[in-house]
Chains A and B, each alone.
Chain A
């Protein structure tokens, strides 16, 4: 699992900064457009479309990446669990583990599975927080650009 980007840092590669690629913000900052009398009121329809496009891009990036990471993590966990169960069964059969010890290991693996599920739930919350922060940045950026166009 990779660490999340520092939200405080200004980084134009971050998904919520990609609005500048669409050109829609330039409509509000272009001096020719700003001087146009028709731009003295906010074009809410354009703003809404711009925000929607950016938020959907952000959701695709954050959620898509998380689903891939979580799926790989779960797959690895299940493969490791299967290997452990096979190993412990062999040790029990050979007499290297007694029943209490075998049971402890089995129950321990279930506890680790529960901990793993809690970790995934926590990481999903982290991604939700990242998404919310990204949406707030998009809203702030697009509306600030639109307001600048009115000055």
Chain B
């Protein structure tokens, strides 16, 4: 019965290794993706003209992150948020940093960057939707 050692040990120490699916968390991450991609489309205009909206979207992302921080057994999701929220990486926070530095960005670049940032958020929502219900 050696093969039972791992599942039995996990059961005894509390059964689960990762949080269950949370509809609110899923809703928040998909809303973040939609809002971030929407504001990214405006990067053909000066950053300064959009700073209020960028701040509002960043706050939406911060709220989703805080919500996930409050869930137990959710460290993998938090690690993913840390990448997305890091301005020195090249996803949404990094895009806003580049926009601020350059003032405006080209339509061709924005189109490609939206694919990358969208894919980043898809990984996060993909993990959430794959969790046990």
Contact surface of A with B, Cβ cutoff 8 Å: 1, 3-4, 6-7, 48, 51-52, 55-56, 59, 80, 84, 87-88, 91, 96-98, 100-101, 104-112, 114-116, 118-119, 121-123, 125-126, 128-133, 135-136
Residues in chain B near residue A129, CB distance under 8 A: 15-18, 132
Q: Give the contacting residue for B106; candidates A97, A122, A126; CB below 8 A.
A: A97
Q: Is B116 touching A126 in the complex (CB atoms < 8 A)? A: no
- In the complex formed, the residue of B with least CB distance to A81 is B119
CB 8 Å contact bits of B89-100 with A (1 = contact, 0 = none): 111001100100
Against A, the Cβ 8 Å flags (1 = close, 0 = not) of B50-90 are 00000000000000000000000000110110011000011
Residues of A within 8 A of B116 (CB): 84, 105, 108-109, 111-112
Residue numbers in B under 8 Å from A96 (CB-CB) = 106, 108-109
Taking CB atoms and an 8 Å cut-off, the chain B residues in 82-133 that contact chain A are: 83-84, 89-91, 94-95, 98, 102, 105-106, 108-109, 112-113, 115-117, 119-120, 123-124, 126-127, 129-133
B89 contacts A4, CB within 8 Å?
A: no
The answer to whether A107 touches B90 (Cβ under 8 A) is yes
* Chain A contacts for B117, CB-based, 8 A: 108
Partner of A132, one of B7, B79, B89, B130: B7
- Complex contact A119–B126 (CB within 8 A): yes
Shortest CB distance B5–A (Å) = 11
**A3-B130 CB under 8 A given contacts A115-B83, A116-B123, A119-B80:** yes
Q: Does B23 contact A (CB under 8 A)?
A: no
User: Does the CB pair A132–B10 fall under 8 Å?
Assistant: yes
Q: How far is the CB of B20 from chain A (nearest CB, A)?
A: 9
A1 vs B83: C-alpha distance in the bound complex, in angstroms?
23
Contact status B129-A1, CB under 8 Å: yes
| Cα–Cα distance between A85 and B11 once the two chains are bound (Å) | 45
Q: How far is the CB of A120 from chain B (nearest CB, A)?
A: 9
